Amino acid sequence: MAENHKSFLGTGWAFPPQFLDSLGGVKMSSDEEDIRESIYILLTTTPGERVMNPAYGCDLHSQVFQNINPNTLTIIEDMISTAILLFEPRVRVEAINIDTSMQIEGRLNIELIYEIKGVNSRKNLVYPFYLAEANDM
């Protein structure tokens, strides 16, 4: 029987980490889902957070209080594409689209369109980037 498995894409702990039973089993993710979770972790990690790999991450949080203008949007796009180029070799970024329609509410929706190398599978991920802290005021 032919196995339709893309194990070369990787397998790792699911994000967020989940334990399956009292024996200590950990939920795993693989293939496209593992890549999607890896990109999300990369975008939410600030450089310096990982002691053993201080360069890992994407410094999006440095743009939280910036005015939303073409310059800021270009900086955000560059930060994302550079982080993925350096730390996620399994994908090739095709486009980064930033939806500013919710900026009054304090949110940008960043759509990342990428191709998974080796399988030529095109995927997208929408990352909500919050510009201010959440509050009820």
pLDDT tens-digit profile of 82-115? 999 999 998 999 999 999 998 888 889 999 999 9
- Do the domain assignments include residue 12? no
- Do the domain assignments include residue 3? no
- Do the domain assignments include residue 118? yes
Read off the pTM.
0.76
Domain count for the chain: 1
- pLDDT of 32 reads 78
- What is the DSSP annotation of 45-91? PPTTSSTT-TT-S--GGGGTTS--SHHHHHHHHHHHHHHHHHH-TTE
- Do the domain assignments include residue 136? no
- Do the domain assignments include residue 54? yes
- pLDDT of 116 reads 87
Mean pLDDT is lowest, of 45-54, 95-104, 124-133, for 124-133
- pLDDT of 28 reads 67
Average pLDDT of every residue of the chain: 82
- Do the domain assignments include residue 104? yes
- Do the domain assignments include residue 14? no
Higher pLDDT, 130 or 9: 130
- Enclosing domain of residue 98: 25-130
Distance CA 20, CA 17 (A): 10
CATH number at residue 78: 3.10.450.40
- Do the domain assignments include residue 31? yes
